[in-house]
A and B are shown apart, each in its own frame.
Chain A
Amino acid sequence: MTTIQHISTGRRLKDRMVQGLVYLAFALAVVPLVSVLWLVISNGLARFDMTFLTHSMRGIGARDVGGGAYHAIIGTLEQVLLSSLISVPIGLLTAIYLVEYGNGGRLSRAISFFVDVMTGIPSVVAGLFVLAFWILFLGMPYSGFAGAMALSILMMPTVVRSAEEMLRLVPDDLREASYALGVAKWRTILKVVLPTAFTGIVTGVMLAVARVAGETAPLLLTVFFTDSINNDPFSGPQMGLPLYVFDQAARPNDTAIDRAWTGALTLILIVMLLNLVARLIAWWRSPARGR
C-alpha cells in the first residue's frame, strides 16, 4: 500500500544541510589553492622579466638586483624530460603487461604490489637511493641525469597506475572486434587499445610530470646545485627550479626573496604550459574532431 508522498520537511532540511556542507567543504578546499596562487602571482610578478628568463645567477650575490633562473629552467626542463623518457616507456609497458597479459597471475600480483610500495616511497629516499648507488657506489658525478633517475623512481608508479586504469577502461568488445578481424594481439594493443586509451594516458603522464617537477629533496641529493648555466644533463651539477626557489628563499635579502617568488611562478607556469600542450595533443588526436 504505497501512495505518492510529498517530500517531508525533515528530508528537505537534511537535503539543504548536506548541500551546505558540500559547498563549505569545496570552499575550504579552494581557499588554500587560491591564496597560494594569489601570493605567488602578486609576489612573483615583480621580477618576472626578460632578465629573469634569460640570465643565470653567475656572479650575482644575494644582495644584487638582477640575476635570473635561466639555468634552473633549462635544468628543470631537461631533468623532467629525461625522467619522462625513462619512466613513461617502462611504466606504459608495465601497465600493458598487467592489463593485457598478466591475467591476475603470480607475477602480475607481485608487480602490482611493488608498484604500490613504490607509490609510498618518500621523495628523499628516492634521492638517497640514487646518491648511494649511482654517485657514491658507482662513482658517477652529480648530474641532471642522476636527478632524472631519482625523479623517474617517483614518476613510474603514477604512470603505471594511471595507464593501467585507462587500459582497463577500454571495453573488451573492441579487443574482440579486432581479434575477429584476424588481427594479432600485439597489433590489437598497438592500434586499437592504446589509441583508445591515449587521451587518458596522456593526462596521467602529465599528472606524474606535475608531481615530480616540483620535487626538491631528490634534486638536492643528486644534481647538487650551481649558479651557472649547464646545458649538459649528463655531466656536472645542474640547477632546477625547485632548488632555485629553495636556495633563494633561504637568503635574507629582499632581492633574493623576490627571485624565489618569481621562480615559483615560473615553475607553476611551466607545469601549466606542459598541461596545455598535453591537452592540445589529446584534442588533436580525439575522434570527435572528425578528421
Chain B
Amino acid sequence: MSKQIQVSGLDAYYGSHKAIEDVSMTIEPRSITAFIGPSGCGKSTFLRTLNRMHEVIPGARVEGKVLLDGDDLYGGNVEPVSVRRMIGMVFQRPNPFPTMSIYDNVAAGLRLNGRISKSRLDDTVEESLKGANLWNEVKDRLSKPGAGLSGGQQQRLCIARAIAVKPQVLLMDEPCSALDPISTLAIEDLMAKLKDDYTIVIVTHNMQQAARVSDRTAFFNLAEQGKPGKVIEMDETSRMFTNPSHKATEDYITGRFG
C-alpha cells in the first residue's frame, strides 16, 4: 500500500516570494527519506507541497509536478482533500485536538470522513495506538483529554491519529524536535517499524537522527538569504554521510556551517 513519489521541476511561492525552486527527486516506497539543511531553506515548504498543504496558506502556490505512483497530485481535477487522505502528516509541534479525548483524537480522521461502525472504530483506534507505541500508556484512560498527555505522548498520539486513516505516505516535519531522548528513540523505533507499510519522509535538524533512521537523504540549501532554496544533492544516506559529492553537503554535515 505504500507508494512512490516523483517530483519534477517544483517551485513553491508565498505570494511573490519564491521559497523553493526547481526541486526534482524520487522518494521510494517502503523507505525513509530524510530532508536536512539549514533553517529557512524550504524543507517544510517542500514537505507541505507533497500533500497539498502548502496552498492552505493564503497567497501560497505551487508550480511543477508531483506524481504519486504516476498520478499528478496537481492535476486539473484532483481534489486536495483526497490527496491529504492518502498522504498523512505529522507536525513539528504536537497538536492533538483539545476538545477531544485520546480515543476521539485517534478516531477523528475516520469519524470526520464518514460513517464507520463502533466496533471497527474500536479496532482501528487500538491498532493505531499500538502502531504508535502508545497503547500501553493510555489504554486505561482513553476517555481522558488528549491534551493531558506529555509532549512525547502527544506526538505519538498525533502519529497514531495520522496512521489511523491508513495513508500511503507519512510526512513528518521535525517530529522529535520538542522531545526528550527517550521519546525520540521511541519515535525512531516507530519509524523503522512503520516503514514496512508506509513511505516515510522526515525533516530533521539532527544529523545523527538522519543517519540512524533514513535510507536516503536530501540536502537542501539556499545560495543566500532571500534566494529560493534548492536541493543540492540526494543520495543513499550512508554515501551522503561518508562521501558526499558536494563540498556544501560535507560542510553542513560536519557542522562547518549552518
Contact = CB atoms under 8 A, between A and B. Distances in A.
A287 B95 CA distance: 15
Interface stretch (A36-44, A76-84, A173-181, A265-273): A173-181
Interface in A156-208: 171, 173-184, 187-188, 191-192, 195-196, 198
A90 B146 CA distance: 33
Nearest to B108: A181
Contact of A287 (B83, B85, B145, B158): B145
A174 to B, nearest CB: 6
A178 B112 contact: yes
Contact of A290 (B56, B96, B145, B162): B145
B54 to A, nearest CB: 11
A191 B113 CA distance: 11
A182 B85 contact: yes
Interface stretch (B98-106, B118-126, B245-253): B98-106
Interface residues of B, number: 34
B236 to A, nearest CB: 29
B162 A182 contact: no
A97 to B, nearest CB: 15
B76 interface: no
B100 A287 contact: yes
Nearest to B86: A182
A291 interface: yes
A174 B97 contact: yes
A54 interface: no
B112 A174 contact: no
B109 to A, nearest CB: 4
B84 interface: yes
A187 B114 CA distance: 11
A103 interface: yes
Q: Secondary structure at chain A's binding surface: helix, strand, loop or mixed?
A: helix
Contacts of B144: 290
A178 B109 CA distance: 8
A155 to B, nearest CB: 26
A288 interface: yes
B222 to A, nearest CB: 24
B97 A177 contact: yes
B51 interface: yes
B82 interface: yes
Nearest to B51: A180
A181 B91 CA distance: 12
Given A103-B58, A191-B112, A290-B144, A182 B99 contact: no
B143 interface: yes
A179 B56 contact: yes
B85 A181 contact: yes
Contacts of A287: 98-101, 145, 147
A103 B86 CA distance: 28
A287 B99 CA distance: 5
A65 to B, nearest CB: 53
A178 B56 CA distance: 12
A182 B83 CA distance: 7
Interface of A: 103, 171, 173-184, 187-188, 191-192, 195-196, 198, 285, 287-288, 290-291
7 contacts: A103-B58, A177-B91, A179-B53, A181-B112, A182-B84, A187-B112, A195-B99
For the complex of A and B, the 3 pairs showing the least CB-CB separation, nearest first, are A182-B85, A181-B109, A180-B89
